[in-house]
Amino acid sequence: MNKRTILTGITTTGTPHLGNYVGAIKPAIQASHGDGVRSCYFLADYHALIKCRDPGVVHQSTLEIAATWLALGLDTDKALFYRQSDIPEISELTWLLTCITAKGLMNRAHAYKAAVQENVEKGEDSDLAIAMGLFSYPILMAADILMFNANEVPVGRDQVQHLEMARDIAQRFNHHFGEHFILPEAVIDDNVAVLPGTDGRKMSKSYNNSIPLWLPEKKLRKAIMKIVTNSREPGEPKQTDDSALFAIYSAFASTEQRDEMKQAFADGIAWGDAKQRCFELINSELTTSRLVYEDLLSEPAKIEIRLQEGAERAREIAGPLMQRLRHAVGIRPLV
């Protein structure tokens, strides 16, 4: 039997934070060591262009995200790891899909609708500053997924609609041109922790409450010391269920360590001491990989080689499928 394919993309804007690590990167890397599936992870740099027009940021972010996944031990022999823009077949497929996608389907996309809504509320032209890239972005994402016939796509809840669109697009293509695509499914892992940020809301770059994954030790400690707590004094018992600090600690702790911390809260541990323990735990998990990360950042050529190897293997899959798709739509040699 063919292995199931799990695929996910990481948009290359910004630098990874602890929330990305706990919620997406760490589980994916663990999964990459398994033999039961074929996994594909890619740097979605074409997607980055939708949000970001600063070439330096896109480039630096691609470097940092690639270095992060490699430093944390992604098994690139088992998993396919590539940069979207290294696979020209993805752009080609995007056009074939664009030609069969209903405009009405794209009109319903949440991200596009939100942008329109914002314009309308401000009394502006509804299309102000909305690029076609934003509008047709779900088609590019469908191409990412369908190109590798992914069965499962681990994503956040905000991406579920895009998966439904990818299925819709795949179905239409299959209907017109034959059964070429598997219909992908979104996988949302509710067991994976949504990490709170330093202010207790979900950790997110846009809330300005995130702790970057690769802060040097001293800065990491400082950032953890800034996690918001309440005014309970040392010696006073503390609640765990409304504590961002406890949640962040727990995301890195073994069951045993978590229970101990719970007890310490009940016993009235001082916030400063609890934060120190939290820092030590997270720091010990990251210390070794941080060295690898820093080493990779200083030698991007090492990363580039791995990406090129990944692209070559990815194109061994994408190339032949694209050949068949071109043929299916009537783009064929004349003789």
Q: Name the helix (H) or strand (E) containing 11.
A: strand 4-11
Nearer to ligand TRP, 158 or 190 (CB): 158
Chain centroid offset of residue 76 CA: 17
Could you give the angle at the alpha carbon of 191 between the alpha carbons of 190 and 193, nearest 5°? 95
- Binding mask 141-180 toward ligand TRP (x if CB under 6 A, else -) reads x--xx-------x-x---x---------------------
* Residue 294 DSSP symbol: H
Task: Name the 3-class secondary structure at 81.
Answer: strand
Compute the least distance from the CB of residue 72 to ligand TRP, in Å.
18
Q: How big is the site for ligand TRP, counted in residues (CB under 6 A)?
A: 12
Question: Is 20 one of the binding residues for ligand TRP (CB under 6 A)?
Answer: no
| Closer residue to ligand TRP, CB minimum distance, 163 or 211 | 163
CA–CA dist 61, 56 (Å, integer): 8
Closer to ligand TRP by CB, 5 or 159: give it.
Answer: 159
Q: Of the two residues 165 and 281, which places its CB atom closer to ligand TRP in the complex?
A: 165
Closest approach, Cβ 36 to ligand TRP, in A, equals: 20
Q: Which helix (H) or strand (E) holds 194?
A: none
Burial of 69 (0-12, 13-18, 19+ CB in 10 A): buried
243: contact with ligand TRP by CB under 6 A: no
Minimal CA–CA distance to 7: which of 150, 107, 190, 111? 150
The strand pairing partners of 186, in sequence order, are 153
- Helix pair 271-298, 255-266: axis angle to 10 deg: 150
Output 11 or 32, the one with its CB closest to ligand TRP: 11
Q: What is the 8-class DSSP label of residue 183?
A: P
Name the burial class of residue 215, with classes exposed (0-12), middle (13-18) and buried (19+) by CB atoms within 10 angstroms of its CB. Answer: buried
**Interface residue with ligand TRP, options 5, 6, 9, 169 (CB under 6 A):** 9
Task: Please identify, using beta-carbon distances, which residue of 213 and 282 lies nearer to ligand TRP.
Answer: 213
Task: Give me 219's structure tokens.
Answer: 């800065």
- At its nearest, how many Å lie between ligand TRP and the CB of residue 138? 9
Q: How far is the CB of 184 from ligand TRP (least distance, A)?
A: 8
Tell which one of 5, 8, 62, 243 touches ligand TRP (CB under 6 A). Answer: 8
C-alpha–C-alpha distance, residues 241 and 243, integer Å: 6
Give the integer Cα–Cα distance in Å for 309 and 290: 24
Cβ closer to ligand TRP: 157 or 219? 157
How far is the C-alpha of 330 from the C-alpha of 171, rounded, in Å? 19
**Residue carrying the six token digits 């630098």:** 15
Nearest distance from residue 167's CB to ligand TRP, in Å? 13
Please, what is the minimum distance in Å from the beta carbon of residue 50 to ligand TRP? 9
Told to check if 47 binds ligand TRP by CB under 6 A, we report yes
The interface region with ligand TRP, picked from 8-16, 227-235, 254-262, 272-280 by CB under 6 A, is: 8-16
Residue nearest to ligand TRP (CB): 9
**Least Å from the CB of residue 173 to ligand TRP:** 17
* 17 interacts with ligand TRP by CB under 6 A: no
Residues making contact with ligand TRP (CB under 6 A) = 7-9, 11, 44, 47, 141, 144-145, 153, 155, 159
